[in-house]
Amino acid sequence: MSNQIRAYRDQLGFKQEELGEQAGVTRQTIAAWENGEREPSLVQLSSIARIMGVAVELLQGLELTDSRDPNSFFSSLLFRADEPSALTPTIKQHLIQKVADYAAVEKLLGEIPVSPAKFPLDGYDSEAIEDYSKEVRNWLGLGESAPVGDSLSLLESKGLKVLPYPLPAKISGFSACEEDWGCLVVVNSNDVAERQFFTSLHELAHLIFHHKEYRQPPERTKSSDPREKAANHLAGAILLPKNVIHREMRAYRDRWIPDPLLIDIKRRYGVSLRTILIRAEQAGIITKQQSGTQMGVLNKRCGGKDKDLPNSEIPMPQRLTRLERLTYTALLKDGLLTNSRAAEILGKQTLEVSQELQTWKQSDVEVSD
């Protein structure tokens, strides 16, 4: 048990002092539990489980009592990362719990698991991907040139399960599809906003192009894999259609693209500077050599290929997730869900959920009046 408390605390970013304060014990008590010097009571264990948003069974080192085989579910994962082994057993078990909870809330409200349209694609075909991107944008309600905005929220509006989660740096995200639970997209919540947007659409591409491979995917997929190249291309084409690139950049054909223009497009369309340069190359505005040269200079100025220019950050939108909306909707329906169960599902304290629920009830009363 001691190792499980430490493992989940580290994974979810809690400090001993923070966890102790919320649980009503000292930092030394948390340390004693983690070192195996003392054992928490069941009440205390339930409290820290609610605070961290994990099931008590996981802190006890037990497998979740779900009829579905966790290993079977995770065998359906198609990883974007080069190092899927970075997904530890601790993370897997916690994600299984979160997906099971999400599916349970959907079932309470009669929500039907959703999967996107499927366009099987073998290998890499740039022209076909550009055509598919138009169909996907129409499915998302974007038309020919509207900015995508918060793609996580957009995918949720279509009924897909999207889970931001603090994954290891080696993993930007992954996706899974299972008959009873539907499709799932997980994005690394530690990443910057534009990276999370791109990752969510990259995983959508896998769900669209490679749906049949989810039952028995390879253990590793490298960036040079045609499937990864196809998923990257579709994500970029959804974020920045060719007609947008031509409209915004036609004055810079075969020229250096100025920083102010790159930053402006980044902010308006929610994409990284590197994605803009890649799309400019794919649209024929600049050559592959020009794109590579400007990207090399950009990487040098930014101090690395994963960093962007100063003052070009995009804030992550503040909003309710679909899971939060569904959970509070279930709470408003008497008998469907308890406050403590909702707190466990959302990874919040029961008091916080109870207080938030009152604002939902107040709004309901005002409308009724």
357 in the same domain as 246: no
213 in the same domain as 122: yes
DSSP 250-278: GGGTTSPPPHHHHHHHHHHHT--HHHHHH
The number of residues making up the chain comes to 369
Contacts of 292 (CB under 8 A, 6+ apart): none
176 in the same domain as 118: yes
270 in the same domain as 228: no
- 173: part of which helix (H) or strand (E)? strand 173-178
Domain end position, chosen among 302, 331, 350: 302
Mean pLDDT of the chain: 86
The domain of 266 spans 242-302
247 in the same domain as 235: no
235 in the same domain as 125: yes
C-alpha torsion sign, points 332, 337, 339, 342: negative
Domain end position, chosen among 212, 239, 266: 239
Could you give the 3-state DSSP secondary structure of residue 164?
Answer: strand
Percent of the chain whose predicted confidence (pLDDT) is above 90 = 50
Distance CA 309, CA 252 (A): 20
Distance CA 1, CA 59 (A): 6
213 in the same domain as 248: no
Question: How does residue 77 score in pLDDT terms, banded at 50, 70 and 90?
Answer: low
Distance CA 74, CA 214 (A): 10
159-169 pLDDT per residue, tens: 999 999 999 88
Domain count, the chain: 4
Distance CA 138, CA 71 (A): 36
List the CATH number of the domain containing 151. 1.10.10.2910
Helix axis angle, 193-209 relative to 126-139, nearest 10°?
110
12-41 pLDDT per residue, tens: 778 888 888 888 889 888 888 888 888 888
Q: Are 111 and 195 in contact (CB under 8 A)?
A: no
Is 77 contained in some domain?
no
Percent of the chain whose predicted confidence (pLDDT) is above 70 = 88
121-152 pLDDT per residue, tens: 989 999 999 999 999 999 999 999 999 999 99
Give the chain's radius of gyration (CA, Å).
22
Bridge pairing between strands 182-188 and 173-178: antiparallel
C-alpha torsion sign, points 289, 294, 297, 298: negative
DSSP 63: P
Q: Phi and psi at residue 186, in whole multiples of 5°?
A: -110, 130
Question: How does residue 67 score in pLDDT terms, banded at 50, 70 and 90?
Answer: very low
Q: Look at residue 269 in the predicted model and tell me its pLDDT.
A: 96
255 in the same domain as 229: no
